[in-house]
Structure 1
Amino acid sequence: MTLRIQVLGPMRVWLDDEPLPLGPPAQRAVLGLLVLAGGQPVGLADLIDAFWGDRPPASALNVIQTHVKRLRRLLEPGRAPHSRSEVLPYLGNGYRLGVASEQIDIMRFRRLVRHAAGGGEVAALTEALALWQGQPFADVPLLADHPRVRPIVAEHRAALGRYGAAMLAAGAVDRAIGAFEEAVTADPLDEAGQARLVRAYAVAGRRAQAFTTYHAVRRRLADDLGVDPGPELTAAHQELLNEDSRAQVAVSSAAAVSRTVPAELPPDVPGFTGREHELGELDRLTLAPEPDTIVITVVSGTAGVGKTALAARWAHRARARFPDGLLYIDLRGYDPEQPVAPGAALARFLRSLGLPGEQVPSDVEERAARYRSLLDGRRVLVLLDNAASVDQVRPLLPGSVGSAVLVTSRDRLPGLVVRHGARRLDLDVLRREDALQLLRRLAGEWATAQNAAAEALAAQCARLPLALRIAAELVHQRAPGALTEVVVELDDHRRRLDLLSTGDPHSDMGAVFSWSYRDLPPAAARMFRLLGLHAGTDVDGYAAAALIDGEEATARESLALLAGRHLVQRNGDRYGMHDLLRAYAKDLAVKDGEADLPRRILEFYLSTAAMAMDVLYPAERGRRPRVPRPARALPSLDEATAPAWLDTERANLVATAVHAAEHGQAWFPVQLALVLLRHLESGGHYADAVTLHEHALRAAESVADRHSAAQLRINVGVVAIQQGRYATASAELQQALTLADEVGDSLVRVRALGNLGHVYQWQGRYAEAARTLAEVVTMARNADDRVTEARGLGNLGQVRLRQGRHADAADDLRTSVAICRDIGDAVGEAYALVYLGHVESALGRYDEAGGHHEHALTLFRGAAEPAGEAYALDGLGGVDLLRGDHERALGRLSEALALFRRIGERAGEARVTNSLGEVAAAAGRPAEARVHHLSALRLAEEIGHRFEQSRAQAGLTSVAAVRSLRPAGLPGRSLTPVDARTGGSGSRRSRNPPGPP
């Protein structure tokens, strides 16, 4: 049995891949002290001293010995009583840890760093840094500041520095910056590390961030140590100031591409056994391609043969050879109802590669083209799991050499081989020796003692890894003689489950599934059947409780039992099913009289989604359907956990809505779409929004619900606006107006009109936008709808600001601020204040403008609204520039740029980049100003942001006259009376660029 110890982070120990409970902190500390000794004995006196110093209690020796005794019992469960311990032997007057250094992460870390050199340096450092899971002994307070622990932290910083330098030399600037940032976070006063970070920012073209970093360190050195920067940090700063270096940085900035490096591989399979030949074949097929070819490898084989496990194991071994990232998706090709469409897979990959959600094209062919462009010149591994056909795979293939594609499928995919030159590895069942080794590892001593029965069981399970795991779990549930009993049962039931037969008599797993299911307690058996009806990919304890109409604790007990028998797969606190198991479970449910999703799971999802939306967007509560709360327990959600719940469950919610729409449960997709719109569009989840609303609209029309259809058409129009499809948006909104008039709903009408005004503003039709929004404000006042009135006034103020009608804009915005304060809408008030600040700047009242922006900044930070915070900082930076305070403006704008990049708001990034160009021009740095404006122009052209395009072009045309430009400009954000994320809704953020100036 093999022990594996982790101390780089929380302290963990595994015995043959099974985690062990290490007990109280003091017991963990004893083991930790022995780990730190590096295989040398630790005397009892030293152990006592570490615990109590020079004042040990009379029981000290007994306490240490008790901890050691319990550790021995834990780490050596098979050791005979009173026999010598091999893991914690008593030597001299103390104890020694008898575990191979390769099985202890700190020892492996040091070995890898020590031997990292030459061509293998990056791979060795990558592997070493991957071992780091946090501060050493993070959950052992006694060792947090131990003299032998502090050097480990320094070793980690040094390894990060070496890795960053290697990445910088290889041109992987973003990965280098990540390493340098992590290193200086651990020691902010490390001048050498800060100097490396400043130079890396410069190479990446992030000069403003480089200056900000230098000045922050300089101030900290002065405040904390009373010293000036040393020669290395000073030299890095001087390079930034040097004109020649600045020109070189401009070239590097133009050439450097900021790339997201995805790392999406599924976890390696515990207890993976055998397959050395197949792993070698994958090395040969995938890593030694012919010149000028795209490397595609298909791993094909029957269900349960271990295709995914093999692919994941190989990908983890080869990850260092793909420095630009690892993409993974389960295509669910054999799911009878929910395979992943190529368009959905492309949308996910585009976001993984750094493309913001709002930039994902709606057309599948356009997505594929953008995907191929992003992969051009990169070395990325694309792992496509559970593919059903060539058509599902073909759109996901890169278009140029460098990357590799690894596909797993039950089909041999001959079209992929013939047309695209794929190489194929046909995966057979495990070799006899490997199957027996897996059984011994899983079933323990029984498989060793009853070798003949073990061989029979391996043969009956067709030597399929999944079947062997389930059968071994059955053995564990029974008496010591169970191995023979299981063999007999397998013979009795081999032909029971035709549905799950793969057509190969050597791989009929249905019998194995049936035994495992038959022995389940009634509650777990019912849970298993109902999980087969679930339309999504996985569930948590709350959803499982709704499925069975029971308590969460009972549901979790059943899920844990199912996971222990390999009937569900556990991932953290979520549980999913292999597609064959899901089909089998669904068949059992249908036979038991459960033909469709229970209404209670639909009510659970709708109620929890509504609760999450109420937490995040309270001002819009009255505009969403009133959803009754069920009697059962729901998750406890607040502003921190509600977004996580929505993100985690989004795929399940959409899949469930699609299923309900197609099975006559129209109420669910209709209400879910009306509840969930703001989350989908504010997060840039447009593909999901389109799917949900298409099915919801079809469902509403199928039951002649014209009122809901009108609201849903508005939602479809909102999503189209976010995607820049203004003609489509206008058509949908006009249809919504017609339906609103037919049903006589003035609220729906005003919402449709407000969004039409939004479309007009983006199209630069300011006069029409002003007339429409003025009508919306009048209607809202007549209806005493103060939320809509505040929103409409905020939007109207924006339009009038763009028209140059400053006095009218100020009146509208001040009224909007007053209403927002009265109804408690802090976010709506803050956005109105930002625009009011721009009005004051345009009128030359800088003190008033700065006050508005400062107040808005305070409100945004209190509401955790990062986009608004960035816009307020941009406004403050503009005021600082007008006052001539260039250094302060640079600091605020650099902070705003970092926020915009973190949340993926590209319109804001273009805006602030232009502002940085104006600061550079005003400070007499024309070359730097040109770099910023060029960068802003490229970004604005890419997203279709006409206002920032013109602003960048003006800056480039006359850098010398930059002081005469209006540096504050107009913020890239627009509000609609009902649907804007910023206009009095208490909502999170907007990603829409502004319309033309």
Structure 2
Amino acid sequence: MTLRIQVLGPMRAWHDDEPIVLGPPAQRTLLGLLVLAGGQPVGLPGLIDAIWGDDPPASAVNVIQTHVKRLRRVLEPSRAPHSRSELLPYLGDGYHLVVPPDRIDLLRFRRLLRRAADTGATETLSEAMALWQGQPFADLPQLAGHPRVRSIVAEHRAALARLGAALLAAGQAGRAIAAFEEVTAADPLDEAGQAGLIRALAAAGRRAQAFATFHTVRRRLADELGVDPGAELTAAHQDLLTEDARASAPARPSVAAGRPAPAELPADVPGFTGRARELAELDRLTGPPDPTMIAIVSGTAGVGKTALATRWAHRARDRFPDGQLYIDLRGYDPEQPVSPEAALARFLRSLGLPGEQMPADAEERAALYRSLLDRRRMLVLLDNAASAGQVRPLLPGSAGSVVVVTSRDGLPGLVVRHGARRLSLDVLRRDDALALLRRLAGEGVAGDPAAADELAAHCARLPLALRIAAELVHRRAPATLASVVGELADHRGRLGLLSTGDPHSDIAVVFSWSYRDLPSGAARTFRLLGHHPGTDVDVPAVAALIGGTREQAREHLELLAGSHLVQRGGDRFGMHDLLRAYARDLALKAGEAGLPRAVLDFYLHTAATAMDLLYPAERGRRPHVPQPPGPPPVLRDTTALAWLDAERANLVATAVHAVAHGQEWYAVQLAQVLLRYLESGGHYTDAVALHEHALRAAESLPDPRGAAQLRINLGVLHVQQARYEEAGAELQRAVELAREVGDTLVRVRALGNLGHLYQWQGRYAEAARFLGEVVAVARHSGDRAGEARGLGNLGQVRLRQGRHEDAARDLRASAAICHDIGDAIGEAYALLYLGHVESSSGRSAEAADHYERALSVFAGTAEVAGTAYALDGLGGVDVLRGEHRRAEDRLGEALALFRRIGERAGEARVSNSLGAAAASTGRLADARAHHLSALRIAGEIGFRYEQSRAEKGLAGLPA
């Protein structure tokens, strides 16, 4: 019987066409949670938390086991009593659902969305929408607020909007109206959706209804949000008024196919006041008739350069349809300014470059960046630059884009060499300073203009100081403005700063006045934040920083945000670089030198916890990290990846800081903990930076074992980026280090990775010899995970050598061990290569079964490459069965996934598979093109197996 599950709407299941009774709501909720996990295991703690929240019954584990037992009974009616469940097995400390993804509507829905994003096919989007039968799990309100359910709803709305735009561009206005009406019904304040609806109504000739729609949403925006329509909605209305033919134009082009144009501008500054002349000057500098490519906004610290550039950028963003790039270069950070190489890596990722394709050389990155910006109209905002050298590699090479740089320096090198134009920003004009005070502190300022004028003078008319002073005026109420100003004047005199005339000294007075007003706990938090090397922090990190509770940390951050001593961005808090320097000075004067060890412990332990949730089977291969004092991190399997993504920059920054301050152990351990996450996510720039710092740290420590481990990790990272020569050098050095210290396990790990490298290079005999030694040593030492990995790699080598029976034996042994130790991903890779063995032997049914089982594990995980390889295998089976349309769909999806993550070895493999598929239907020109593409890629990266496969494919084609 074929099991099918529906969750897009009420939850339903069938065996063939026979409905299945899934039981009471709690039992269906359990099954729903397993479906949402996409084939990944869900631990008992996660299930208990999702079903009962903070108040689970004492019998929660028994209740779940009972639900699972009943689900197995109804989902697997033919399973023998007491036999192992294949569909709902127990894994680790929980369960996972093993169902092919095409039999679960949610997974089919997402696969169709990915295919539509890669191909742009409207029919594929429509097919995905047809699966939608209502809100996910409509009959299970307990799951309505689950983060993954909210994500599905958001995906559906975004896909509906894409479908509406595609239908409108294709001239199908009626169907576009239906799509946009569904989008706007879910969120009436969605301006993009409303704009699409207006255009669709106009294209269908329903102009009166289009006008009515605009006026209705304009009133709603004013009533509910107090704002006017944005640019997109206004443009749709203007098109109506002028009967512009753009009403049915396609969406703006993106920088990379299938990827939205970057929109990275920071939030506009609330309460921005004045600077009308400067905004007009930026318009003039960057506009016709003689636009400049580079504008520099220079001025003293705290004068409002970033605020001005950000306000102008938001006003001008519609001039740049290909997107806006932004980065804070932290040019005046004494420890960690952003290097041009790191900034280029950030921008290249924003422009759609997969991590694996990131050039190692800075000049190559700059050249690729210029190529991607060629003939584009983009805005590049480079904030807080220290020198022309920091900026120069980030400049486009052709006209069309505009770069705005903010700096305390005038950057004459950019003016002389690159024709940049400079806007020197002075302190606020008197009237603008008073207007800002009135706006922030209230009309009480207007009642005493003399005192307001004096307060502005005390703040040196610097916007940052004015904002802090205005908050102090609020807090001193109902005291008069004159008395508050008198207090500041007295404090200023006591500091001996009355007559310096130095704006930095003046602003320090305001800082100190605001700092003096803080309770002692919040004041200490402020000081310690000066030592944090990252760009922003969250509440748990600050709790570790101060050695207090999260409630205390939140209270302190709220006080600091209210005083404008930190800036809030959602649930994260950042600090102006002037304030950071001031806080650091205060900390040093108070004897609080350096970042507390508790912060390093917090980041390291939380990272280790996240990795244990994401990759539980590999826990033994990572260093043991003891739990620090204080509350444990609140992470679940659904939030672990999000935490790592949010904190990645902070983790690397704290590692660099630790090495510079004599805490080398931290960088070494963090690199070993994070390798798998950084590798599988394609975060190679961060991974290499972290490991290079960690390696320098390890080489200064007495234990060379850590250095050997890190060289192995660097070798792995080089292999992933097809840098085989560098990989071989690192791995050979690791073998030597391990031999010197007599560490057999480290030596075996290095040899195993050398064997993996030699496999890619076609050096099969050497690979087999190394991997055989790996298996023998791992088996002797009881390292089952190492034995499974060695057997899996050895099976791949046997397959490449054509020794199918030996390959099948090794791969089955690897799969069995992985199954026993709960390594679902390792088992899936073994099944994938078993599929290759069966396919090579002509057993297509057995191959398809292996591929389907592997795909069911990979789907919904971070293993995008595994999903793509499984699709490639299934596509090859479809070719053997004569199902050519299905084969091309699967192979096309696999190719798109490989290109998305930048795995060129996979791209070469699928190109060869597409060549075989085209040849089987007589499309010889297409077959030749695919094989030539595979031959080129395989030759560039030194992948001998696919190179040989491409050559054979070409040789088999008629001349």
User: SS of the counterpart of 1:545?
Assistant: helix
Q: Are 2:329 and 1:331 equivalent residues in the alignment?
A: yes
Match of 1:105 in 2: none
Match of 1:589 in 2: 587
Name the CA distance, whole Å, in 2 between partners of 1:256 and 1:508: 48
Q: What pairs up with 1:303-452 in 2 under 5 angstroms? A: 303-452=301-450
Report the CA distance shift for 1:829/1:155 in structure 2 as closer, same or farther (over 3 A).
Answer: closer
Cα displacement string for residues 320-373 of structure 1 (whole angstroms, at most 9, x for unaligned residues): 211212110000111111111111111111111111112111221221122112
Q: Are 2:526 and 1:525 equivalent residues in the alignment?
A: no
Name the CA distance, whole Å, in 1 between partners of 2:552 and 2:452: 35
Name the CA distance, whole Å, in 2 between partners of 1:881 and 1:700: 51
Match of 2:776 in 1: 778
- Decide which of 720, 730, 751 is 2:728's aligned counterpart: 730
Q: Is the 8 A contact 1:431 1:463 kept in 2?
A: yes
- Decide which of 622, 625, 634 is 1:624's aligned counterpart: 622
User: SS of the counterpart of 1:508?
Assistant: helix
Name the CA distance, whole Å, in 1 between partners of 2:501 and 2:808: 75
Q: What pairs up with 1:736-775 in 2 under 5 angstroms? A: 736-775=734-773
Supply the AA of the counterpart residue of 2:891. L
Name the CA distance, whole Å, in 1 between partners of 2:499 and 2:680: 45
Cα displacement string for residues 419-471 of structure 1 (whole angstroms, at most 9, x for unaligned residues): 11101111122222222111111001211222221122122222221111110
Deviation at 1:892, TM superposition (A): 2.8
Supply the AA of the counterpart residue of 2:509. A
Cα displacement string for residues 271-310 of structure 1 (whole angstroms, at most 9, x for unaligned residues): 111222211111111123648xx61110111111111111
Q: Are 2:553 and 1:545 equivalent residues in the alignment?
A: no
Deviation at 1:861, TM superposition (A): 3.1
Cα displacement string for residues 593-628 of structure 1 (whole angstroms, at most 9, x for unaligned residues): 111111111111111111111111222211211111
Cα displacement string for residues 951-973 of structure 1 (whole angstroms, at most 9, x for unaligned residues): 55665676669xxxxxxxxxxxx
Name the CA distance, whole Å, in 1 between partners of 2:928 and 2:274: 59
Name the CA distance, whole Å, in 2 between partners of 1:373 and 1:467: 42
Name the CA distance, whole Å, in 2 between partners of 1:402 and 1:943: 34
- TM-score, normalised on structure 2? 0.72
User: SS of the counterpart of 2:334?
Assistant: coil
Report the CA distance shift for 1:940/1:500 in structure 2 as closer, same or farther (over 3 A).
Answer: farther
Deviation at 1:936, TM superposition (A): 5.7
Deviation at 1:259, TM superposition (A): 6.5
Supply the AA of the counterpart residue of 1:541. V
Name the CA distance, whole Å, in 2 between partners of 1:801 and 1:499: 78
Q: Is the 8 A contact 1:461 1:506 kept in 2?
A: no
Structure 2: runs of 5+ lacking an equivalent: 1-134, 136-140, 142-155, 186-192, 197-252
Match of 2:849 in 1: 851
- TM-score, normalised on structure 1? 0.69
Name the CA distance, whole Å, in 2 between partners of 1:899 and 1:717: 24
Match of 1:788 in 2: 786
Match of 1:719 in 2: 717
Supply the AA of the counterpart residue of 1:878. G
- Decide which of 658, 661, 668 is 1:660's aligned counterpart: 658
Report the CA distance shift for 1:712/1:168 in structure 2 as closer, same or farther (over 3 A).
Answer: farther
Q: What pairs up with 1:949-960 in 2 under 5 angstroms? A: none
Q: Are 2:707 and 1:709 equivalent residues in the alignment?
A: yes
Report the CA distance shift for 1:556/1:158 in structure 2 as closer, same or farther (over 3 A).
Answer: closer
Name the CA distance, whole Å, in 1 between partners of 2:720 and 2:325: 27
Deviation at 1:831, TM superposition (A): 0.8
Name the CA distance, whole Å, in 1 between partners of 2:497 and 2:355: 40
Report the CA distance shift for 1:850/1:466 in structure 2 as closer, same or farther (over 3 A).
Answer: same
Q: Is the 8 A contact 2:160 2:183 kept in 1?
A: no
Match of 1:280 in 2: 280
Deviation at 1:418, TM superposition (A): 0.6
Please tell me the root mean square deviation across aligned C-alpha atoms, in Å.
3.5
Q: What pairs up with 1:550-569 in 2 under 5 angstroms? A: 550-569=548-567
Structure 1: runs of 5+ lacking an equivalent: 1-134, 136-140, 142-153, 170-178, 197-252, 962-997
Match of 1:860 in 2: 858
Report the CA distance shift for 1:925/1:614 in structure 2 as closer, same or farther (over 3 A).
Answer: same
Q: What pairs up with 1:886-901 in 2 under 5 angstroms? A: 886-900=884-898
Q: Is the 8 A contact 2:719 2:757 kept in 1?
A: yes
Name the CA distance, whole Å, in 1 between partners of 2:513 and 2:493: 12
Supply the AA of the counterpart residue of 1:480. P
Match of 1:264 in 2: 264
User: SS of the counterpart of 2:375?
Assistant: coil
Supply the AA of the counterpart residue of 2:486. V
Name the CA distance, whole Å, in 2 between partners of 1:785 and 1:619: 12
Q: What pairs up with 1:103-142 in 2 under 5 angstroms? A: none
Q: What pairs up with 1:804-883 in 2 under 5 angstroms? A: 804-861=802-859, 865-883=863-881
Report the CA distance shift for 1:420/1:944 in structure 2 as closer, same or farther (over 3 A).
Answer: farther
Deviation at 1:523, TM superposition (A): 1.1
Report the CA distance shift for 1:275/1:906 in structure 2 as closer, same or farther (over 3 A).
Answer: farther
Name the CA distance, whole Å, in 1 between partners of 2:483 and 2:867: 67
Q: Is the 8 A contact 1:501 1:510 kept in 2?
A: no
Cα displacement string for residues 783-827 of structure 1 (whole angstroms, at most 9, x for unaligned residues): 121111111111111111111111211111111112112222211
Among all aligned residue pairs of Structure 1 and Structure 2, give the percentage whose two residues are the same amino acid. Answer: 72
Match of 1:49 in 2: none
Q: Is the 8 A contact 1:388 1:411 kept in 2?
A: yes
Name the CA distance, whole Å, in 1 between partners of 2:578 and 2:502: 15
User: SS of the counterpart of 2:325?
Assistant: strand
Cα displacement string for residues 503-552 of structure 1 (whole angstroms, at most 9, x for unaligned residues): 84487310110011000011110100010111212111000000110000
Cα displacement string for residues 182-238 of structure 1 (whole angstroms, at most 9, x for unaligned residues): 9699599xxxx9xx9xxxxxxxxxxxxxxxxxxxxxxxxxxxxxxxxxxxxxxxxxx
Q: Are 2:694 and 1:696 equivalent residues in the alignment?
A: yes
Deviation at 1:682, TM superposition (A): 2.0
Name the CA distance, whole Å, in 2 between partners of 1:771 and 1:501: 79
Name the CA distance, whole Å, in 1 between partners of 2:767 and 2:331: 47
Name the CA distance, whole Å, in 2 between partners of 1:187 and 1:545: 41
The count of residues paired between Structure 1 and Structure 2 equals 738
Cα displacement string for residues 103-161 of structure 1 (whole angstroms, at most 9, x for unaligned residues): xxxxxxxxxxxxxxxxxxxxxxxxxxxxxxxx9xxxxx9xxxxxxxxxxxx99999978
Q: Is the 8 A contact 2:667 2:690 kept in 1?
A: yes
Supply the AA of the counterpart residue of 1:267. A
Question: Which one is further off, 432-441 or 718-727?
Answer: 718-727
Report the CA distance shift for 1:737/1:184 in structure 2 as closer, same or farther (over 3 A).
Answer: farther
Q: Is the 8 A contact 1:160 1:182 kept in 2?
A: no
Name the CA distance, whole Å, in 2 between partners of 1:878 and 1:638: 38
Cα displacement string for residues 811-859 of structure 1 (whole angstroms, at most 9, x for unaligned residues): 1111111211222221111111111111111111111111111221223
Report the CA distance shift for 1:949/1:327 in structure 2 as closer, same or farther (over 3 A).
Answer: farther
Q: Is the 8 A contact 1:500 1:510 kept in 2?
A: no
Name the CA distance, whole Å, in 2 between partners of 1:694 and 1:502: 45
Report the CA distance shift for 1:950/1:350 in structure 2 as closer, same or farther (over 3 A).
Answer: farther
Deviation at 1:746, TM superposition (A): 1.4
Report the CA distance shift for 1:158/1:811 in structure 2 as closer, same or farther (over 3 A).
Answer: closer
Report the CA distance shift for 1:385/1:507 in structure 2 as closer, same or farther (over 3 A).
Answer: farther
Name the CA distance, whole Å, in 2 between partners of 1:786 and 1:157: 44
Supply the AA of the counterpart residue of 2:698. A
User: SS of the counterpart of 2:506?
Assistant: coil
Question: Which one is further off, 316-325 or 417-426?
Answer: 316-325
User: SS of the counterpart of 1:407?
Assistant: strand
Supply the AA of the counterpart residue of 2:778. A
Name the CA distance, whole Å, in 1 between partners of 2:708 and 2:499: 48
